[in-house]
Amino acid sequence: MAECVYPLEIENLELDTIKLGDTPYGKGVFASKKIKGGMPVGKIEGEFHPDKKYDSEYCMSFNDGALEPEEPYRFVNHSCEPNCELVELVVADQNSGKVFHELWIYALTDIKRGEQLTLDYAWPYTDAIECQCGSPNCRGWIVAADEVEKVVAKKGLGSRATSCELRVARKNPRQRKLVKRR
């Protein structure tokens, strides 16, 4: 997760650029208009849990604890090739000098109207589940990129095995039975 320190000045900031929609694997967050890469998409609000071991289906690591995000950002799905990232902003109140933290989602790339916003969850290999992102460079598992080898050694190729089998079967129909036995 990237970290930024205020003051952060962005002219003409528009944060009404997203909407919820359906995906094959549940709800997702979609761009309701074009979002330029490098721009903030929105602030993630929710309940903070100071316990680093707090766990739920939607929690995000944040400020030495976890944030249970509210809608809509609780529904930002994983991709092995994400178009967004989480940024923790350290904010200082100019009057009181008090420092607090905010969690924001920023666009990594230009995002087209109607495109789903995605993050790389980068989970530890012990928490990995099969990935359904469908990106060309899918790791097969929702896991940190540097822990892919660990989860593959322990659990196999995951969803990559299915996509590899299909590619081979389409290229050479005679190998279809061989491929399915692997």
**Domain shared by 34 and 103, yes or no:** yes
User: Would you place residue 182 in the very low, low, confident or very high pLDDT band (cuts 50, 70, 90)?
Assistant: very low
Predicted local confidence at residue 2, as pLDDT: 52
**Domain shared by 65 and 149, yes or no:** no
**Domain shared by 106 and 155, yes or no:** no
**Domain shared by 93 and 25, yes or no:** yes
**Domain shared by 147 and 112, yes or no:** no
Residue-range definition of the domain harbouring residue 117:
1-121
Over 60: is that where the pLDDT of 163 sits? no
**Domain shared by 12 and 88, yes or no:** yes
Over 50: is that where the pLDDT of 108 sits? yes
Alpha-carbon distance of 3 to 106, in angstroms, equals 11
Q: What order do you get walking across the sheet with 84-92 strand by strand?
A: 2-5, 84-92, 99-107, 40-44
**Domain shared by 17 and 104, yes or no:** yes
Note the pLDDT tens digit of each residue in 10-40. 444 556 689 999 998 899 999 999 999 999 9
**Domain shared by 35 and 68, yes or no:** yes
Tally of domains in the chain = 2
**Domain shared by 99 and 126, yes or no:** no
**Domain shared by 24 and 105, yes or no:** yes
pLDDT > 90 fraction of the chain, expressed in percent and rounded = 47
The enclosing domain of 7 has a CATH number of 2.170.270.10
For the whole prediction, is pTM greater than 0.85? no
Over 60: is that where the pLDDT of 176 sits? no
